[in-house]
Amino acid sequence: MRSLIRPAIVLLFAAGAYDLVVLLFLVAGHLGYPDRPPTAAMIAVAIIGLVTVASAAGLAHGQRWSRPAALTGRVLDSISWILGLVAGNNFQLTTIAAVGLVLSIITILLLARLPRDRSFTGATRGFAPKSTSVSPD
């Protein structure tokens, strides 16, 4: 199971970054059309994106809260992407929502395959540079 942790971390960072990039498009659309998209939707996307990036960092450090936070964020984000698919009235918005939904579903499936106990704690220590101890000669 240790081999699934690194792809999960990478996908979480990618999904969080995708949310934050999409947020820029939402803000630009909000400036052109003040009632679309709703301000609450933009705030939700920002919070979900930040929680996803934070949970990826927590998962990398073996924190217990990171997996439930990541799953919650991805499920909520999937719901918002489904709403975006339903409400999307042009090809560009529908494509953005479809990519976000696929990314969220893949991340959820990968997170669900991670062990529920703390057996993965410390498994990502390979990300940190190995300390080299210099012996005095």
Q: Is residue 134 part of a domain?
A: no
Q: What is the pLDDT of residue 136?
A: 61
Q: Is residue 86 part of a domain?
A: yes
Q: What is the pLDDT of residue 36?
A: 75
Helix (H, G, I), strand (E, B) or coil at 98: helix
Q: Is residue 130 part of a domain?
A: no
Q: What is the pLDDT of residue 125?
A: 47
Q: Is residue 137 part of a domain?
A: no
The residue range of the domain holding 58 is 2-115
Could you tell me the pTM of the whole model?
0.78
Q: Is residue 128 part of a domain?
A: no
**Residue 122 above 80 pLDDT?**
no
Return the closest-CA partner of residue 88 out of 104, 72, 101.
Answer: 101
Q: Is residue 97 part of a domain?
A: yes
Question: Contact at 8 Å (CB) between 19 and 45?
Answer: yes
Which residue bears the tokens 């990478």?
A: 10
- Token pair, residue 88, equals 């999307």
Q: Is residue 40 part of a domain?
A: yes
Q: Is residue 75 part of a domain?
A: yes
Dump pLDDT digits (tens) for 89-99: 788 888 999 99
Compute the distance between CA of residue 70 and CA of residue 72 in angstroms, rounded to an integer. Answer: 5
Give the angle subtended at the CA of 74 by the CAs of 70 and 78, to the nearest 5°.
175
How many domains is the chain built from? 1
